[in-house]
Amino acid sequence: MAEDTAVKTREQTGRAQVIRSTQCTVEVVSDSGEGAQKCGQTFGAVSAKMGNGVWTVEIIPAEIQPPPRSPAGASGNRIRIGERVVTNWGDRTNVCIAFNEQVLLARHRLDAIEDDAILLVENMWATHSDEDIRAEWTAAMEELGGAGYRIIEVPMEQECLTVVDNARKGKNMFALGILCWMFDRDMDLTREQIAHAFRKKAAEITERNHQLLELGYAWADENLDVRIDVRPGLSAENTLVMNGNQAAAFGAVAAGMEMAAMYPITPATSVSHQLGEIFYKFGGIVHQAEDEIAAVGVAIGASYSGKVAFTITSGPGLALKTEFLGLSVMAEIPLVVVDVQRGGPSTGLPTKVEQSDLLAALFGQPGDAPHVVMAPATIEECFHAMITARRIAETFRTLVVVMTDANLATGVQPFPRPTLDPAWQGSAPDMSAIPEGKPPYDWDEATGLSRRFIPGTPGGMHTLTGLAHDGNSRVAYASAINQKSSEMRSRKMAVLQSTLRPPEVYGAESGDLLVVGWGSTKGAIEEAVDRARAEGVSVSSLHLRFLSPMEPGLKAIFSRFKKVMTVEINYSDELDMPYITEENRRRGQLAWLLRAQTLVDVDCWTRVLGEPLRPGAIHDVIRSNVSKGGAA
């Protein structure tokens, strides 16, 4: 390619400086509707295909149609690429390309940008006919200028108008061209990826986008003097790239489930969008119910009459489903619930990540309602968790809550393509005739397990009830019967726990500090542990996939560390706050559980900033905790 040759020449003659880096975080931000997301997604996909590790997250404005050029309207993508696997969104952004200075300002004010970052910003606003806009530009550039970034003005509008009439619709591909030059992306792959992204549109659209891409590339080659070299160190072979909600949707299909009942709620809804596209091909149905209560009711009705069904929701919906979840436990109807957590309580932070539903998921149901709570830690695990959840739900006749969060839901990452196993589909439920006299809750004394009687099965007629009942499913208020049936339902959790393996410690088996996490924070925690260990800090981490029942051996593992603390995305008090004492301190939700479970004095560090934890922040926490307590 001519351009490539030109660039090489430029590098050779020393006109472009090349910064070599093991990883780099890039943001593309615009007003919503200007296509920054498509630009970012394409950049991420091309990087994955080239063999870079990639983690992409969307930057979503809280409103559907925020006013243009407002900091609240910043919309786009953040793409972190690395030489090796990237497990989290990283710290601050190294390169940002913005379609106006206001959205850039928003990122700056959110402390999203690294001190020495390179910022590329559309400069049409500097000379805009509207005086107010020019003033905004000046003020913003002054604020940004004070921060020490390297700011490069880009005449996006002017350049794009040479190819399109409406530059608003073209800047994203122009920006992609700039990024492709800066990161030396494979241009054939990029053109292919664009063609794929616009495959449903007219051929001219792809062609025009290719032109804009070339234009951006050429502009960068002409005008920029810095390139960033993040070498692809992975094989892209046999890899899938998708977000956690898509992975959960595909996992549900792979698990042979056929009914998803839901009511739209961010950030869970897109599971149903994905299923809506494909489920019917497998005989599956996405039922959009009139509300969350109906959704779980439909799922329970379906589960009761055959293969287990599932419902997808987020915090407010989980709250509405509570009564039915208790019924599922009481009547031992298998059910899978996916809770894609967002910020709470109440409507909270609909699009933002939090891990604050843990205790609600575990204990939200009135009465004693033992059930299973699992938390996939990666996007890949979102797929596999659905298969595990179905199997546990049916084997143990129980409720399984699978907890993901907005970080997993919207993060996009390549992961090894699973080898699909037909056995995951499960066999048809046992509908062979029931021998006379066999009760519908024929609890095995030791395990509490019993066979499900599914409608259609001869000889199995009985009435299931959410009232206290004996083995024959007869309503029973006798105290001994309630004690017994409670025991049987609880026993199943112990039996499941006996089949779980102790969790693996990441890092050394003993040391000064053990950081314990759950859910989407795994990548950030382990990256922080790696950084600290590289400095000689004695720290390891542990990640839990089962929160109920808990994986075995925790107390023994904890005993090998001087200090144990959780790192979570939920709220906790800190001891230096007014009124807060050891006695009244409210701790992180996992810390709360672990203290109760192990009697170990588990500390915690938690934040509810509406964003995933940054590995750098966890790294700081590790350092201060080891120098403070553990190592002493």
User: Which of these ranges, 93-101, 144-152, 385-393, 456-464, lies near other proteins under the rule CB under 8 A?
Assistant: 456-464
Q: How far is the CB of 459 from other proteins (least distance, A)?
A: 7
Pick the closer one to other proteins by CB: 309 or 564.
Answer: 309
Considering only the stretches 14-22, 56-64, 273-281, 312-320, report the one whose residues sit in contact with other proteins under the rule CB under 8 A. Answer: 273-281
Q: Which of 364, 429, 552, 629 binds other proteins (CB under 8 A)?
A: 429
CB of 100 to other proteins, least distance (A): 33
Angle (CA) 435-441-446 rounded to 5° is 105
Rounded Cα distance between 153 and 543, Å, is 44
Please say which residue, 302 or 393, places its beta carbon nearer to other proteins: 302
Q: Binding segment for other proteins among 42-50, 60-68, 85-93, 618-626 (CB under 8 A)?
A: 42-50
List of residues 6+ apart from 543 with CB closer than 8 A: 377, 503, 506, 516, 517, 518, 522, 525, 526
SS3 category, 260: strand
306, burial (CB in 10 Å: exposed 0-12, middle 13-18, buried 19+): middle
Contact region for other proteins (CB under 8 A) — 25-33, 265-273, 460-468, 476-484? Answer: 460-468
CB 134 within 8 A of CB 125: yes
Smallest distance, Å, CB 295 to other proteins? 8
Q: Which residue of 68, 460, 616, 629 would you call a contact of other proteins, by CB under 8 A? A: 460
Asked if 183 is part of the footprint of other proteins (rule: CB under 8 A), the reply reads: no
Helices (H), 152-266: 156-160, 171-182, 187-197, 203-223, 244-254
Nearer to other proteins, 367 or 458 (CB): 458
The region of 393-401, 461-469, 599-607, 620-628 touching other proteins under the rule CB under 8 A is: 461-469
User: Can residue 297 be called a binding residue for other proteins (CB under 8 A)?
Assistant: yes
Beta-bridge partner residues of 227? 18
Min dist CB 461 to other proteins, Å, is 5
Q: With respect to other proteins, which residue has the nearer C-beta, 146 or 283?
A: 283
The yes or no reply on residue 478 touching other proteins (CB under 8 A) is: no
Least distance between other proteins and beta carbon 453 (Å): 8
Q: Please say whether the beta carbons of 55 and 89 come within 8 A.
A: yes
Binding segment for other proteins (CB under 8 A), chosen from 14-22, 352-360, 426-434, 616-624, is: 426-434
At its nearest, how many Å lie between other proteins and the CB of residue 233?
A: 14
Measured between alpha carbons, how far is 324 from 3 in angstroms, rounded to an integer?
62
Q: Which is nearer to other proteins, 107 or 489 (CB)?
A: 489
Measured CA distances, 56 to 38, 48, 519, 546 (Å): 12, 11, 18, 26
Residue 597 half-sphere exposure, CB side, CA atoms within 13 Å?
18
Query: Residue 36 — φ and ψ, nearest 5°?
Result: -60, -35
Residue 454 makes contact with other proteins by CB under 8 A = yes
Site for other proteins in 390-419 (CB under 8 A): 414, 417
* 562-621 binders of other proteins (CB under 8 A): none
Residue 162 φ then ψ, to 5°: -75, -15
Strands (E), 508-629: 511-518, 539-544, 546-548, 561-568, 603-606
| Interaction residues for other proteins, span 196-255 (CB under 8 A) | 236, 238-242, 246, 250, 253-254
Question: How many residues sit in the footprint of other proteins (CB under 8 A)?
Answer: 75
- The verdict on 422 binding other proteins (CB under 8 A) reads yes
Q: Where are the beta strands (DSSP E) in 239-351?
A: 239-243, 259-262, 285-288, 310-313, 335-341
Instruction: Map the footprint of other proteins across residues 332-391, applying CB under 8 A.
Output: none
CB of 19 to other proteins, least distance (A): 25
Q: Is 319 in the site for other proteins (CB under 8 A)?
A: no
Q: Are the CB atoms for 75 and 36 separated by under 8 Å?
A: yes
